[in-house]
Structure 1
Amino acid sequence: MDPEASAAFFDALPLRERFDDLARPGAYSPMPDDWLVGAADIEGSTALIRSGAYKTVNTIGAAVISAQINAHAGLAFPYVFGGDGAVFAVPPREAETARAALGATRRWALAEFGVTLRAAAATVAEIRAEGREVAVARYRASRGADYAMFSGGGVSWLEAEMKAGRFEAPIAPEGARPDLTGLSCRWTPMEARFGKILSLVVLPSPDADPSEVAATLGELIAIEEELERTGNPIPQTGPSYRWPPEGLELEAKASRGDKPLWKRKAQLWFETLLALFFFRTGMKAGEFDPGHYCRVTAANVDFRKFDDGLKMTIDCDPETRKRIGALLDRAAERGLLRYGLFEQDAAIMTCIVPSITEDDHVHFVDGAAGGYTAAATMIKAGGA
C-alpha cells in the first residue's frame, strides 16, 4: 500500500451501524503493514482494584488514550479502552510521536500514583511475522461518536509479549508529562437498575471454527440486545453528578501540569461546583446545554466492544444473566471460547471531553468493583 493510502486507511473505513455485524470476521479490514500498534496496561492492577483503587486504575487506562488523542491532534485513529490499559494504532508518520506519548504516560503514572504502566509498540508487519493478524472496524455508537474494534489476535499477542518484556516503549525521563487535556472522571457511579452490572470478557479459543464463534457471539448479542437500552448502564437522561466529585483528585493529577496539586484541586473545586449549578438547574450557558450534554453522554458510551474478543459492561436482570451464563457454558464446553464474568452493583465512567459544546466526547465504561480486570482474571484462573 502506498504511503498516502496507508495514512488514509482508517478514515476510509465504513461506519458500522449494527453492533452484531462486528461478530463476523468479514466486518474487519486488515491494517496496513506499516502502521504501529501500541498497548499499555497496569502492572499489579488486580491488587490495586482489591485495595479500592478502581477509579485510579480506570483513569490511568484512559490516560493512555487521552495522551495519544492530544499528541496526534485532529487525527482519527483506532483505540480501545480495556479497564486497566488500552490499545491503539497509528500510521507510520505518527509512530515516534506515539512512542513519546506512551513513554510520557508511563512516567506520569509512576510519578503521580507510584504505578508501573507497562507499554509496548510494534508494527503490524512485525505482528504478522509471528502469524497473527491485526484487522479493524469502526462502530458508530451514536451520531457524535464512533469506536474502533480489533480482530485477528494480533493485539492480544502484542499484549502478551508486552508482559514478557518485549517491544517495550521506553519510559520518558523524569519530569516528562503527557498532555491529558480533556481527561476527567466526575460522574457519580451508576447503580444497577435491573439487577447487577455484568462485566464480561469473551475470548475465542485458538483452534475454534471462526464461523461457529461468530454464530455464538451473535446469539449472545441477541440476548443482550433484549435488555432495556441494550444493557447500556447509563440512563438515557445521562449519569448523575454530585459535588465534590469522587474523581476530583484524579483529574487534578491528570491536568495540573506544572502547578502544585493543591492549586489545581482548588481550581477544580470551583469549576465542578459551577458545573453542579448548571446540571441541577438545567440552565444553559452560551452554547452549553447541560441537558443535551447529559443525553449525548449516555449515547456515546463504549459499554460494549470487540478487542480480539467481546467485552461488555451491561445492566442485566437475573433471568438474562442466567441465559447469558448458560449460552457461554455450552460454548465453553464445546471448546469454542473462554470467558470471565464479574458481577457488581454499579458502573463507573471515565471521560475524554475535548469540548463541552461539541458532541464528539467519548466515555469509557467499566464495572465499579473490578470490571474487565476482574473478569479477565477469572479467565486466567480457568473458571467463570
Structure 2
Amino acid sequence: MNTTSFYKNIKEIKDFSKIMDNSNYHKVPSDWYVLISDVVDSTKAIEDGMYKKVNFVAALTIIGILNIDKELEFPYIFGGDGASLIIPPTLLDKSKIVLLETAKKAKEAFDLDLRVGVISIKEIEKRDSFIEITKFNVSKDFTQAIVRGNGLELAENLLKKEYKTFKIDENFTYNYIPDFVGLECRWKDIKSPKDETSSLLIKSINPEKSNEIYQNTLNKINKIAGSYMQRNPIKEINQLVISFNPMVLNAEALVFSSNIFSRFFLILKLLLENILGVVFMKYSIGQWSDYKNRVIRTTDTEKFDDMLRMVISTNKSQTKELEEYLEKEYQRGDLVYGIHKSDSALMTCLIFERHGKHIHFVDSSNGGYALAAKALKKRLKSKNEI
C-alpha cells in the first residue's frame, strides 16, 4: 500500500485548543522515517551571540527537505536549535544527502556542529513508542503539523545517545544536488507588542493525565494571555521592518556563496532586493500590498510535539501570573517547563513563492527555545533526583 499521501489526507483542526482531542489523531505509517537535526552545544553558541545563526541552521534542514518535492506534504517541527521531520520512504535517499550537506554548510559557514540522523518508525515502534499526527489550520495560507506520542522525543534521544547507530554514513552517495533556495532572514528583530516576548516549553511528566494537563494548561494560557491572536508576538504590520544591516544579511550570504567575493556581491543583491521590497510595500504595488499581512498569517508561533512549544507576547503581570501557575503545577509533579523572556522576536523565513507559499519560524531573541529547553531540562533533572 502506498502511504505517500498519508499526511495530505488528514483533516485539519481549526482551533489550537482542540489538539488534545483523541479523534483528531492518526498513527504515522510504519514505513515512514524521522529525520533529526540538532546543533551541538547550542547553549554555548547562543551565549556567544550566535542565536540567529543557530536558528538559521535549524531552518536550513527544513527548507532543504521541503525543496526535494514541493508538492509533497509531510510533518516538520522547528525547534530553535534543531528540527524534526517525518517523511515517506520515497524521500529517504535524497533526504540523507540534504542532511549531510546541511551539516557541512553549518560547519563551513558558521562553525557550528550539526548532528543529523535518520530513525525509522519501525525502530521507534520496536522500542514501544509511537507517533500520531494531526494538522492545525493556522490561517488560509498556513497549516501546521501537531505531533503527539513519545516517538519524537525517543528519536532525539537516540540520535544523541546512540549517534553511531543512527547517524548518516558520511560516505553515503546518491545522485541529487540539495536545494536550499527560499531560506531568508531579512527582518529586523520584531519588538514585542506588549512588555515581553517569551519562548515557552511545557511538558507533562504524568503520563496518566497528560491530555488533561495539556488541556488545562492551554485553557489557563488562554485565560491569562488571551486568544491565539491576542498573544501572538507578530500581529501588526508596523512591527515588520526590513533590515539593511549587512551583518544580518550575511547569514543568508554565507550559505549561498562560495567565497568572500561572491558573498560581497550577493549581499549587494540582497540589499537591492530589500530596497525594492520596501518601495513596493510602501506604495502597495501589485501583490506587495498584502505582503506583510501574508507574513503575519504564516507565522509559526505555537505547536505541539511531545510538549507545548509557544512564543507569546505578554505584559509583565501576565508573565508573572503564568509563571506562578506553571511553578505550582511543577511543584505538584504534573509538568516541567522552561521559559526564556525577551523584548523582541526573531523570524527566519521559508519563501517558496514570493506571493505564494510562505512559512515564518518565530523564536524569542537572545536564545529563545534553546535557553527555555535548558531551563526545562534543569527542572526535569531536579524532579528525577527527588
Cα deviation per residue 1:66-95 (whole Å; 9 max; x = unaligned)? 000112232111101000111011111111
Tell me: CA distance 1:254–1:325, structure 2 relative to 1, closer, same or farther (3 Å).
same
Matching residue of 1:39: 36
Q: Give the RMSD, CA atoms, in angstroms.
A: 2.2
Tell me: CA distance 1:256–1:220, structure 2 relative to 1, closer, same or farther (3 Å).
farther
Question: Partners in 1 of 2:228 and 2:121 — Cα distance?
Answer: 39
Tell me: CA distance 1:115–1:56, structure 2 relative to 1, closer, same or farther (3 Å).
same
SS of match in other structure, 1:274: helix
Tell me: CA distance 1:283–1:245, structure 2 relative to 1, closer, same or farther (3 Å).
farther
Matching residue of 2:287: 288
Question: Partners in 2 of 1:349 and 1:73 — Cα distance?
Answer: 22
Q: 1:145 aligns with which of 137, 142, 145?
A: 142
Matches within 5 A, 1:143-292: 143-164=140-161, 165=163, 166-171=165-170, 178-205=178-205, 207-223=207-223, 226=226, 229-237=229-237, 239-244=240-245, 247-256=248-257, 260-279=262-281, 281-284=282-285, 287-289=286-288, 291-292=289-290
Greater Cα shift, 157-166 or 58-67: 157-166
Report the residue type matching 1:150 in the other structure: V
Q: CA deviation at 1:50?
A: 0.7
Aligned length: 375
Report the residue type matching 2:85 in the other structure: F
SS of match in other structure, 2:347: strand
Report the residue type matching 1:256 in the other structure: S
Tell me: CA distance 1:275–1:244, structure 2 relative to 1, closer, same or farther (3 Å).
farther
Q: 2:365 aligns with which of 363, 368, 380?
A: 368
Q: 2:322 aligns with which of 309, 321, 324?
A: 324
Q: CA deviation at 1:301?
A: 0.3
Matching residue of 1:85: 82
1:357 aligns with 2:355: yes
Report the residue type matching 2:30 in the other structure: D
Question: Partners in 2 of 1:188 and 1:30 — Cα distance?
Answer: 40
TM-score with structure 1 length normalisation? 0.91
Report the residue type matching 2:271 in the other structure: W
Report the residue type matching 1:349 in the other structure: M
Question: Partners in 2 of 1:148 and 1:337 — Cα distance?
Answer: 23
SS of match in other structure, 1:369: helix
TM-score with structure 2 length normalisation? 0.91
Q: CA deviation at 1:266?
A: 2.5
Tell me: CA distance 1:26–1:319, structure 2 relative to 1, closer, same or farther (3 Å).
farther
1:377 aligns with 2:379: no
Question: Partners in 1 of 2:8 and 2:227 — Cα distance?
Answer: 32
Q: CA deviation at 1:323?
A: 2.4
1:302 aligns with 2:300: yes
Moved over 4 A (4+): 171-174
SS of match in other structure, 2:375: helix
Matching residue of 2:107: 110
CA contact (8 A) 2:204 2:214 kept: no
